[in-house]
Amino acid sequence: MAGYTASKEEHLRRLRRVEGQIRGLERMVDEDKYCIDILTQVSAANRALQAFALELLEEHLAHCVAEAVAKGGAEADAKVKEASDAIARLVRS
């Protein structure tokens, strides 16, 4: 069971909405829509993806990382390091 299982349906709904935004972008490009309108839609899709990632990360900290930390030891350190690396990738992407 993953840390986000309780909110799986909510995550899937969110991702399907992002998928719809990307298909909307394809349609806009295909119909030669104005560049600026396409860029506005890209920003919206980026923000939606980020919101999904932040939600998932919070659940990961609250479950997977918290469990490992409660047990302590090398596994706890590894989980914190792994989460920190994922955060760094998000901040930089």
Given the rule CB under 8 A, which residues bind a copy of itself?
A: 1-5, 8, 11-12, 15-16, 18-19, 22-23, 25-26, 29-30, 32-36, 38-40, 42-47, 49-50, 52-54, 56-62, 64-66, 69-70, 72, 76-77, 80-84, 86-93
- Four-CA torsion 91, 93, 28, 44, nearest 10 degrees: 0
| Shortest distance, position 7 Cβ to a copy of itself, whole Å | 10
| Shortest distance, position 40 Cβ to a copy of itself, whole Å | 7
> Rounded to an integer, what distance in angstroms lies between the CA atom of residue 68 and that of residue 72?
6
Tokens of 58: 């919070």
> Rounded to an integer, what distance in angstroms lies between the CA atom of residue 71 and that of residue 16?
36
| Shortest distance, position 91 Cβ to a copy of itself, whole Å | 5
